[in-house]
Homo-oligomer: A and B are copies of this chain.
Amino acid sequence: MKISDLSESQLLALFLPIIDEHNQRVAQRQQGESPVLTLGPGDDCAVLNLLQGKTVMTIDTQTENQDFRRVWASGYESGGYDVGWKASVQNLGDIAAMGAQPQTLLVSLSLPGDVESDWVKDFARGICDSTLAQGADFCTIAGGDLGRSSEISVTVTAVGSSSGEPVRRDSATPGDVLAVAGSLGAAACGLDLLETPQQQLEELDDYQRFFTGQTRPAGALCYGLVAAQSAHAMMDISDGLLRDAGRIARASGIGINIDSQKLAAFFEPLRPAAACVSAWGGKQESPEQILLRWVATGGEDHAMLAAFAPDRVPTGFTVVGRCGSEFAPEAPVTVDGRVFDRSGWDHFSG
Which residues of A come within 8 Å of B, CB atoms? 3-4, 6-11, 38-39, 42-50, 54-61, 63, 65-67, 93-95, 97-98, 100, 104, 106-108, 110, 142-151, 153, 155, 157-160, 162, 166, 168-170, 234-236, 251, 346-349
Contacts and interface: CB of A to CB of B under 8 A. Distances in A.
A147 B10 CA distance: 30
A157 B108 CA distance: 9
Given A44-B235, A59-B108, A61-B108, A8 B155 contact: no
Contacts of A348: 3-4, 6-8, 10-11, 146, 148
A77 to B, nearest CB: 20
Contacts of A160: 45
A86 to B, nearest CB: 14
A11 B98 CA distance: 25
Nearest to A49: B54
B61 A346 contact: no
A45 B55 CA distance: 9
Given A110-B153, A151-B150, A155-B155, A59 B144 contact: yes
Nearest to A159: B57
B155 A108 contact: yes
A260 to B, nearest CB: 26
Q: Which of A44, A55, A151, A347 has the most CB of B within 10 A?
A: A44
A347 B147 contact: yes
Contacts of A50: 50, 55
Contact of A57 (B48, B54, B94): B48
A61 B153 contact: yes
B98 A58 contact: no
Given A4-B348, A7-B349, A65-B150, 20 more contacts: A3-B348, A11-B348, A43-B168, A44-B169, A46-B57, A48-B54, A48-B57, A50-B50, A55-B55, A57-B142, A58-B106, A58-B143, A59-B106, A59-B143, A61-B147, A63-B147, A63-B149, A106-B157, A108-B155, A153-B153
21 contacts: A3-B348, A8-B347, A39-B168, A42-B251, A44-B97, A45-B98, A45-B158, A45-B160, A45-B166, A47-B55, A47-B56, A48-B57, A59-B108, A59-B145, A60-B145, A61-B155, A63-B148, A63-B149, A146-B347, A146-B348, A153-B153
